[in-house]
Amino acid sequence: MCLTLKCIHLVVFLLLSNTFVIKSLDVLEVTDNDFKSDLLLPTIQIILLVNPYNKASILPFSLGSIERQLYPKHRIKVWIQSELLVSDKSDDKDKKELFQQMLDLNAMTVEMLRKWIRDNRKQYNDIELVLGHQSVQDLHEDKYWTTDRFKRLIEMKSYGLEISRQNWAHFVLFMDSDVVLTHNQVFLTLTRSDHMIAMAPMLYSLGTYSNFWAGITPKGYYNRTDDYLPILERQRMGEFAVPMIHSCLFINIRHKKSFNLTFDSRLITQEVSPFDDIIAFAKSAKMNAINLYINNEEVWGYIPPPVDSTVSSLKSIEQDVIDLELESLVEGPEFPIASSLQSYVSREKNDELNVDSVYVINLVRRAERRKRMVTCLQILGIEANIWDAVDGKQLNDDMIESKGIRVMEGYLDPYHKRPMTFGEIGCFLSHYHIWEDMIGRNLSKVIVLEDDVRFERNFKNRWKKVLSKFDTNTHDFLYLGRKIQDSKNESMFNELFVEPTYSYWTVGYMITRLGAQKLLDAKPLEHMIPVDEFLPVMYDKHSDERMNQHFPVRNLRALSVYPLLIYPTHYVGDNQYISDTEDSDKTELTSNTIHPKHTEL
Ligand SMILES: *[C@@H]1O[C@H](CO)[C@@H](O)[C@H](O)[C@H]1NC(C)=O
Ligand SMILES: *[C@@H]1O[C@H](CO)[C@@H](O)[C@H](O)[C@H]1NC(C)=O
Ligand SMILES: *[C@@H]1O[C@H](CO)[C@@H](O)[C@H](O)[C@H]1NC(C)=O
Ligand SMILES: *[C@@H]1O[C@H](CO)[C@@H](O)[C@H](O)[C@H]1NC(C)=O
């Protein structure tokens, strides 16, 4: 795609200069014939309404979203509206700190907008910034969505529609300043349709929030219907007519019926309650039989959940942005950052999660996983030690034998009924070498993560709270994530921990020096089983006596965090799932020695 657009620019230039036309048209034919010239693409007027203070942490990403679009920038005009906060009274001592914080964030917001415009104006057809003025004292402290705020929004959006028409735009895009589009073809795709009047790319959020409703009550309130989740979770994909779309909204203003759409409820009904721009918009669509479409063909982007109070909005949005960034890394590309605003993205200071070391096990040949993990760790501010995994693909029976490794006689995977794979042996050795390393370096406690970790919301703060309650005198081992096999049999240890029964996975855990010593003392290389079987054996919750008998001392004192703090990014059975242990060759060493009576093991 990128190449194609570049070619087109070249062609336009060459057409003007009247040379080599034939040759470059040939190139064009070969690459893509969907759009022969970017001059045929619709023009877009973006209306970006920027909250004066609480979007400072996300603005580099939302502006980056516009930059990332594969769309000729000279077909785009951007109109940005925000406010300059002023402090006109100085007597309010209680709120002084809050006001100062808001003023600082406002100064940063305005500075970013100005810088972005300075650096980008030449590329776009036009960029305009309109700054109103507002007294910081007038902002309501508890209630974020005041009538006054709605009134301003409605005025701005109505004006936005008007100037889009004046500017001869084909489409207007109303974009909230906390929308992050990670996909680079949102503009291309959403403006493709001539027949649709209003549509939105479906945006992911945290929990089940999104930028559409599948049901609306007659009074205009939210109604969760059975259609909602299948669309949100993309069990059904495509374009769906829904009663409400908001936050990132394309309107085809060449369509006559678009004149019937309004954000101002006063224009369409006597009843002004609820006085709300998006509800008025949905109502005007319904009254005029205009379908609103939500498109979930791709993962287009993200939006933080809404805030309700000014004070909480300042705290929560930064954490929400971190969690959304991590979420977007599970499947797709990183958040786009506006090229000239890199320095405004504030990253948490790196630390080692208050343990001596954080090991991340990664196979060298899995470079894309390493890259993803490194980015996640950077976003979370975690200093980690990337630990090269033992690659099962490079193991063979001779090597295993020469290292004195014996797979437990008769071991068969309980699910697949097959012996250990070289991948599983490599995985065991990777963990084992870390236990050795921490003993060698005399570290008192470490965290071990595999490289396909999905971090739960607010991971770092939650982890620090958990760690402060973990007593290394009474316990040696703590699961951060695991596959619970027998939840009914598990009991809470206290409000943060459960006593784990048989569990799968070694996706993440903390282990103490004493814990690692216990695991090494058990001499597991002499009767190797997969590491996620070995751990339950060692905390004595494995019900298979044939495994237990090889490890007479089973004294690991284990806990698990509750609720879990990490999960694997993909589970067995997912499309995306590629296991480093399941798809590798099986070791011959044990298959030769397996006795028929053990096959049910
Ligand atoms: C919400 O939607 C459901 C399903 O469409 C409908 O049965 C119900 O009456 C609606 N509730 C309200 C208050 O409109
Ligand atoms: C929709 O717009 C048309 C033309 O502007 C107008 O005649 C018609 O009354 C409008 N419909 C409604 C329901 O407002
Ligand atoms: C290991 O560290 C502990 C403190 O965590 C210390 O008491 C002990 O002496 C150290 N052992 C060695 C061998 O350095
Ligand atoms: C709970 O554990 C006991 C002993 O390990 C076992 O016999 C029982 O079947 C388990 N209960 C459930 C519900 O799995």
Whether ligand 4 lies within 6 angstroms of the CB of 488 is answered as: yes
Distance CA 453, CA 314 (A): 28
Q: Please give the pLDDT value at position 99.
A: 87
pLDDT band at 586 (very low <50, low <70, confident <90, very high): low
Measured CA to CA in angstroms, residue 185 lies from 45, 211, 283, 301, 401 at distances of 16, 18, 29, 11, 53
Residue of the CA atom closest to atom 10 of ligand 4: 489
pLDDT exceeds 80 at position 582: no
Residue 176 one-letter amino acid: D
Q: Please give the pLDDT value at position 220.
A: 85
Kindly tell me the sign of the dihedral angle through the C-alpha atoms of 366, 372, 378, 384.
negative
The CA 541 to ligand 4 mean position distance, Å, reads 10
State the maximum Cα–Cα separation within the chain, in Å, rounded to a whole number: 86
The CA 543 to ligand 4 mean position distance, Å, reads 9
Distance CA 448, CA 509 (A): 5
List CB contacts of 335: < 8 A, sequence separation 6 or more: 61, 64, 180, 182, 302, 324, 325, 328
pLDDT band at 2 (very low <50, low <70, confident <90, very high): very low
Greater confidence, 486 or 576? 486
Residue of the CA atom closest to atom 5 of ligand 4: 543
Q: Please give the pLDDT value at position 323.
A: 95
pLDDT exceeds 60 at position 529: yes
| CA nearest to 159, candidates 85, 53, 84, 79 | 79
Residue of the CA atom closest to atom 12 of ligand 4: 489
pLDDT band at 579 (very low <50, low <70, confident <90, very high): low
Mutate to test the pocket of ligand 2, among 269, 288, 290 (most ligand atoms within 8 A of CB): 288
Mean pLDDT, residues 357-383: 96
The CA 483 to ligand 4 mean position distance, Å, reads 17
List CB contacts of 184: < 8 A, sequence separation 6 or more: 1, 68, 69, 70
User: Could you say which DSSP state residue 570 is in?
Assistant: S
357-568: what CATH class?
A: alpha beta
Of 1-10, 122-131, 338-347, 375-384, the least confident: 1-10
CA dihedral angle for residue 151, residue 152, residue 158, residue 160, rounded to 10 degrees: -160
The CA 285 to ligand 1 mean position distance, Å, reads 19
**Percent of residues, the chain, with pLDDT higher than 90:** 69
451 φ, ψ to 5°?
-95, 10
Q: What is the pTM of this model?
A: 0.85
Distance CA 251, CA 193 (A): 11
DSSP3 helix / strand / coil % (the chain, rounded to 5)? 40, 20, 40
Residues at CB less than 6 angstroms from ligand 2: 259-260, 287-288
Mean pLDDT, residues 129-154: 80
The CA 421 to ligand 3 mean position distance, Å, reads 37
Per-residue pLDDT of 68-107, as tens digits, reads 999 999 999 999 999 999 887 666 677 888 888 889 999 9
Ligand 4 nearest atom to the CA of residue 489, by list position: 1
Per-residue pLDDT of 221-267, as tens digits, reads 899 999 999 999 999 999 999 999 999 999 999 999 999 999 998 88
Q: Please give the pLDDT value at position 91.
A: 65
pLDDT band at 140 (very low <50, low <70, confident <90, very high): low
Mutate to test the pocket of ligand 4, among 489, 498, 543, 545 (most ligand atoms within 8 A of CB): 489
Whether ligand 3 lies within 6 angstroms of the CB of 549 is answered as: no
Q: How many CB atoms lie within 10 A of CB 158?
A: 15
Ligand 2 nearest atom to the CA of residue 268, by list position: 14
Q: Please give the pLDDT value at position 38.
A: 80
Ligand 3 nearest atom to the CA of residue 444, by list position: 5
Q: Kind of pairing, strands 171-176 and 248-252? A: antiparallel
CATH code, residues 30-316:
3.90.550.10
Residue 88 one-letter amino acid: D
User: Could you say which DSSP state residue 200 is in?
Assistant: E
Q: Please give the pLDDT value at position 94.
A: 74
Prior bond to 596 cis, omega within 30?
A: no
448 φ, ψ to 5°?
-115, 125
Q: Kind of pairing, strands 497-499 and 558-561? A: antiparallel
Mutate to test the pocket of ligand 3, among 356, 442, 443 (most ligand atoms within 8 A of CB): 442
Residue of the CA atom closest to atom 14 of ligand 1: 217
Q: Is the CB of residue 272 less than 8 Å from the CB of residue 266?
A: yes
Q: Minimum-distance ligand to the CA of 258?
A: 2
Mean pLDDT, residues 518-528: 97
Residue of the CA atom closest to atom 14 of ligand 4: 486
Distance CA 248, CA 175 (A): 4
**Two structure tokens written together for 161:** 């529609």
pLDDT band at 174 (very low <50, low <70, confident <90, very high): very high
Distance CA 480, CA 593 (A): 36
Residues counted in the chain = 601
Q: Please give the pLDDT value at position 143.
A: 64
Q: How many CB atoms lie within 10 A of CB 164?
A: 25
**Two structure tokens written together for 140:** 């309501």
The CA 441 to ligand 3 mean position distance, Å, reads 9
Of 13-17, 40-44, 302-306, 568-572, the least confident: 13-17
**Two structure tokens written together for 562:** 């509750």
Instruction: Detail the DSSP E strand segments found in 255-390.
Output: 292-295, 301-302, 357-362, 385-388
pLDDT band at 309 (very low <50, low <70, confident <90, very high): low
Measured CA to CA in angstroms, residue 89 lies from 98, 99, 216, 520 at distances of 14, 11, 43, 67
Q: Is the CB of residue 184 less than 8 Å from the CB of residue 231?
A: no
The CA 387 to ligand 2 mean position distance, Å, reads 66
318 φ, ψ to 5°?
-65, -40
Average confidence score pLDDT of the chain: 86
The CA 260 to ligand 2 mean position distance, Å, reads 6
Residues of each domain in the chain carrying CATH 3.90.550.10: 30-316
Per-residue b/e over 466-501, b at no fewer than 16 CB within 10 Å? bbeebebeebbbbbbbbbbeeeeebeeeeebbbbbb
Q: Is the CB of residue 9 less than 8 Å from the CB of residue 37?
A: no
Q: Is the CB of residue 64 less than 8 Å from the CB of residue 321?
A: no
Q: Please give the pLDDT value at position 216.
A: 93
Helix (H) or strand (E) holding 509: strand 503-512
Distance CA 59, CA 113 (A): 9
Tell me which residue has tokens 């096959």. 599
Whether ligand 3 lies within 6 angstroms of the CB of 442 is answered as: yes
Q: Please give the pLDDT value at position 596.
A: 26
Whether ligand 4 lies within 6 angstroms of the CB of 233 is answered as: no
Greater confidence, 219 or 300? 300
